[in-house]
């Protein structure tokens, strides 16, 4: 899914950088300090996930893990993925520095989209929760392929053709990512549910209640 | 309100009571890693042999680029030759222009790699071709005029000896060049790279928390 240097045209690269900067600044604003450790862990996981390689047809594809990153971080997926991609470009020569913006969008935007689509289902009944997690892993790669197709359509042959090719090539990865995301969510639900989006929303709600209550206490004092 | 803020912060701390679980989780993901590092950067390697240029391209990890589009540019960025790699990820073409060349291999879906051939590499190749003296030397349209002069001469000049040696060296060195090519191409991300990257990420985390806690004080 990483687009190499020299493939895309200038306008695509520049608009890619602009959107990535916007997304990252939103992400940084939404990333509170207490979640920095979590974001770093996920960034590290994302960074190494690209080394897990699945050979399919003429191309070679790898895990992306943007679904789980998006699900656990929401908008903060943007800076997380940006950093991981930058290090991948420097250390592994995947993608490149000029295509960093476009690659960030390709992987982070679907992550945020899937978070807003499926995040609210996490933490409900186990069947619902796991299905939503699978869908999140699956569709974050799916939407990523479509986004990549959109970026490539100006330089390669036709949006539909490229997107269809990318989706076909990434179908196994979509399924594997879906399973991994479902597994992670199931695991976290048992072991450390505070990391999951439903719980953090509940937490925010509780915090709000706490503020109100202590506010009242304060007033009475 | 100040007091309240501090109490809210305190309320959040239980989140990190289970660092062990986070470490376990990270470890699980690390366990998923296969031992052969592999991914999809494209490497291109090209070398000259006589009047031919051979191009070999692979995804990092050694998988060959089948049916990848090959475009050869000359030093002025003009397209000289286009073609497709075969099932071995290879593509060969005759030198048509005596300039430095840039060979780009496009494997579709945004994957692309390139290799540059220096002008002096080709210089040598051209002259060797002259020396082979085959009747089918109509390959190049710009064959040098000295060719007809040197061909009938019976005695070998120092120049001829040099050319013959170059030709045989080319032949002898072919396996070595191939070996060099494969050793260069199979170089995927190393363990050093992986842990270096992870180190950077945790370093950034440290920087972020440093600024956070400094602000708090």
Query: Does position B7 have pLDDT exceeding 60, yes or no?
Result: no
pLDDT digits (tens, 9 = 90+) for A86-139: 998 888 888 888 899 999 999 999 999 999 999 888 877 888 889 999 999 999
Residue A15 lies in a domain: yes
Total count of domains within chain A: 1
Confidence band, pLDDT 50/70/90 cuts, at residue B23: low
Q: From B37, which residue of chain A is nearest by alpha-carbon distance?
A: A51
Hey, is the C-beta of A201 within 8 angstroms of any chain B C-beta?
A: no
Residue A5, domain member (yes or no): no
Assess contact for A145 and A1: CB atoms under 8 A: yes
Q: Is residue A152 part of a domain?
A: yes
- Kindly write down the DSSP assignment for every residue of B141-189, as one continuous string: TT--THHHHHTT--SPPHHHHHHHHHHHHHHHHHHHHHHHHHHHHT---
Higher pLDDT, A193 or B145: A193
pLDDT, position B209: 85
With an 8 Å Cβ cutoff, are A184 and B25 in contact? yes
Q: Which residue of B has its CA nearest to A184?
A: B25
Distance CA A79, CA B82 (A): 40
Q: Give the mutation candidate from B22, B30, B109 for the A interface (greatest A CB count, under 10 A).
A: B109
Give the pLDDT score at A218: 46
A209 touches chain B (CB under 8 A): no
pLDDT tens, position by position, A137-183: 999 999 999 998 888 887 766 788 888 888 888 888 899 899 999 99
Read off the tokens for A215: 């506010």
| Interface-testing mutation among A33, A82, A173, with chain B (most B C-beta atoms within 10 A) | A33
In 3D, which of A218, A186, A148 has the Cα closest to residue A68?
Answer: A186
Give which of B172, B97, B153, B163 is closest to B127, Cα–Cα. Answer: B163
Closest CA to B123 of B44, B46, B45, B51: B51
Which residues sit opposite B92 in a β-bridge?
A: B54
Enclosing domain of residue A196 = 10-220
A176 lies in some domain: yes
B-chain residue closest to A199, CA distance: B15
Tell me the pLDDT tens digit for each residue of B50-105: 777 888 887 766 677 777 888 888 888 888 888 888 888 888 888 877 778 888 88
User: Which pLDDT score is estimated for B157?
Assistant: 84
- Asked if residue B135 has pLDDT above 50, the reply is no
Query: What confidence score (pLDDT) does residue B127 get?
Result: 46
- Residue B215: list chain A partners with CB under 8 A: none
Q: Predicted ipTM?
A: 0.71
Domain presence at residue A3: no
A4 domain residue, yes or no: no
A94–B196 C-beta distance less than 8 A: no
- For each of the domains in chain B, give its residue range(s) and CATH number, in order of start: 42-185 (2.60.40.10)
Chain B interface includes A120 (CB < 8 A): no
Confidence of residue A31 (pLDDT cuts 50, 70, 90): confident
Among A4, A191, A210, whose Cβ lies nearest the Cβ of B21? A191
Contact assessment for residue A133 and residue A71, using Cβ atoms and an 8 Å cutoff: yes
Which is nearest to B104 in space by CA: B94, B122, B95, B91? B91
Residue A182: CATH number of its domain: 1.10.1760.20
pLDDT at B186 over 60: no
Q: Which residue of B has its CA nearest to A154?
A: B110
């Amino acid at each position: 899914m990483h687009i190499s240097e020299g493939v895309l045209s200038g306008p695509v690269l520049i608009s890619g950088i602009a959107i990535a900067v916007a997304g990252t600044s939103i992400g940084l604003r939404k990333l509170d300090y207490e979640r920095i450790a979590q974001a770093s862990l996920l960034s590290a996981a994302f960074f190494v996930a690209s080394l897990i390689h699945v050979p399919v047809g003429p191309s070679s594809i790898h895990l992306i893990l943007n679904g789980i990153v998006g699900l656990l971080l929401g908008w903060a997926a943007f800076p997380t993925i940006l950093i991981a991609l930058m290090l991948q470009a420097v250390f592994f020569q995947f993608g490149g520095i000029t295509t960093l913006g476009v690659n960030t969008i390709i992987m982070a935007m679907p992550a945020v989209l899937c978070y807003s689509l499926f995040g609210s289902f996490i933490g409900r009944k186990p069947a619902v929760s796991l299905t939503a997690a699978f869908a999140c892993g699956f569709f974050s790669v799916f939407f990523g392929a479509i986004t990549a197709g959109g970026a490539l359509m100006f330089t390669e042959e036709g949006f539909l053709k490229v997107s269809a090719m990318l989706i076909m090539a990434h179908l196994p990865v979509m399924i594997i990512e879906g399973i991994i995301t479902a597994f992670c969510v199931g695991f976290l639900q048992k072991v450390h549910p505070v990391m999951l989006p439903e719980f953090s929303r509940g937490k925010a709600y509780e915090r709000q209640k706490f503020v109100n209550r202590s506010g009242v206490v304060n007033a009475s004092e | 309100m100040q007091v309240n803020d501090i109490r809210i912060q305190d309320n959040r701390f239980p989140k990190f009571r289970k660092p062990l679980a986070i470490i376990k989780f990270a470890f699980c993901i690390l366990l998923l890693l296969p031992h052969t590092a592999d991914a999809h950067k494209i490497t291109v390697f090209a070398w000259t042999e006589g009047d031919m240029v051979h191009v070999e391209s692979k995804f990092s990890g050694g998988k060959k680029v089948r049916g990848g589009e090959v475009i050869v540019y000359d030093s002025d960025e003009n397209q000289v030759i286009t073609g497709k790699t075969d099932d071995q990820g290879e593509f060969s073409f005759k030198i048509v222009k005596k300039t430095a060349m840039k060979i780009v291999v496009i494997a579709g879906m945004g994957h692309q790699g390139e290799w540059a051939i220096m002008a002096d590499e080709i210089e040598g190749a051209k002259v060797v071709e002259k020396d082979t003296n085959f009747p089918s030397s109509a390959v190049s349209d710009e064959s040098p005029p000295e060719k007809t002069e040197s061909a009938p001469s019976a005695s070998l000049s120092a120049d001829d000896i040099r050319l013959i040696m170059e030709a045989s060296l080319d032949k002898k060195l072919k396996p070595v060049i191939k070996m060099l090519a494969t050793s260069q191409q199979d170089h995927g991300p190393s363990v050093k790279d992986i842990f270096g990257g992870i180190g950077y990420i945790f370093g950034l985390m440290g920087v972020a928390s440093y600024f956070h806690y400094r602000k708090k004080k």
